[in-house]
Amino acid sequence: MSLPRVSIQTDDFDLSVEIDTLRRENKGVGAVCSFVGTVRDRNDGDPVSSMELEHYPGMTEKSIEAMVEEAFRRFDIFGARVIHRVGLLQPLDQIVLVAVTSAHRGQSFQACEFLMDYLKTQAPFWKKEQTPQGARWVDARVSDDAALARCKADIARGDIVIVTMLFLEEHFLPLLPALPKVRGPLPEILPEMVRSLPPMRAVPSNPFWLSKPSAGIFMLVAASVPRGNMKLP
């Protein structure tokens, strides 16, 4: 039975079953490399009683699948399997599995490390730990500050900024100083803006600068429009 390459789930996984299934997909497999991440009972010097993981359903799977495709492009591998658990987890619980098959060990080692590095640093998961001091969001994107700076730079480069579905104060408050003021009621000027738009280059900005996820999908796009080509009321 062939398994999907990427699974996001609350249930635990059986390492031996996953590897056995993966390697049986190709009789040319000569090497299997796997990594399993587990929940620690301490982090940054503090005891951790539990950890809760959240993600964006659909988007998370697509982003990981894209990295799996990139691993196949970069390395000479036969198969790959990524499982990441979400929900409430306890110390010693398994969190993540990355398994890769290839003809020789070098390629599977490299591909496994490549995928795990992505999951650890860039995949859209958010972790909340329970400590004696209370709950805290951890593993904020390495780039929290850098991502916010890039987002502000995108706003500065664009002539039109569209923001939607930013619900949490800690998501939109850092952006308010950078957002331009709208000249006139939006419902009145929007049709004219759309009619006046010349061909433009959209600059999508990923505002995942905070370790806590938003309450829904959100988007920020700064569109670069040649100045003077758009007339507003």
Alpha helices (H) along the chain = 15-23, 59-74, 105-121, 144-157, 169-172, 186-196
Lowest mean pLDDT among 58-72, 93-107, 199-213: 199-213
Query: Between these two residues, 181 and 201, which has the higher pLDDT value?
Result: 181
CATH 3.90.1170.40 fits 6-138, yes or no: yes
Q: How many Å apart are CA 44 and CA 48, to the nearest integer? A: 10
Its pTM surpasses 0.75: no
Q: How many Å apart are CA 168 and CA 165, to the nearest integer? A: 9
Q: Is the pLDDT of residue 94 over 70?
A: yes
Q: Kindly list the domain boundaries of the chain, sorted by start residue.
A: 6-138, 144-224
Q: Band of the pLDDT at 103, cuts 50, 70, 90?
A: very high
Query: Between these two residues, 208 and 190, which has the higher pLDDT value?
Result: 190
Q: Is the pLDDT of residue 172 over 50?
A: yes
In the structure encoding, which two tokens stand for residue 189, read together?
């000027």
Q: How many Å apart are CA 209 and CA 179, to the nearest integer? A: 16
What is the average per-residue pLDDT within 63-81? 95
